[in-house]
A = this chain, B = another copy of it.
Amino acid sequence: MKRIGVVAPGSRLEAAAPDAVRAIAAELYAAQAPDIVFHPQCFLEDGHFAGPDAARAAAFLDYANDPAFDAVWFARGGYGACRMADAALDGLKPAAREKLYLGYSDAGVLLAGLDRAGCRVAHGPMATDFKRANGAAAITRALRFLVEGAADTLEPSTQGVAAVAFNITILSTLIGTRFEPNLKGRVLMLEDVGEYLYRIDRELFHILSSPCGRAAAGVRLGRVSEIIPNDPPFALGEEEIARHWCAKAGVAYLGRADIGHDSENKVVLFSG
Contact = CB atoms under 8 A, between A and B. Distances in A.
A177 B230 contact: no
Given A82-B205, A205-B82, A47 B233 contact: yes
A211 interface: yes
A176 interface: yes
B173 A202 contact: yes
Q: How large is the interface on A (under 10, 10 to 19, 20 to 34, 35 or more residues)?
A: 20 to 34
B174 A47 contact: no
Interface string A199-237: 001110110011110000000000000000010111110
Nearest to A46: B235
Contacts of A93: none
A39 interface: no
B48 A198 contact: yes
A128 interface: no
Nearest 8 pairs of A and B residues by beta carbon: A47-B235, A176-B176, A175-B176, A176-B210, A173-B206, A177-B209, A82-B205, A79-B198
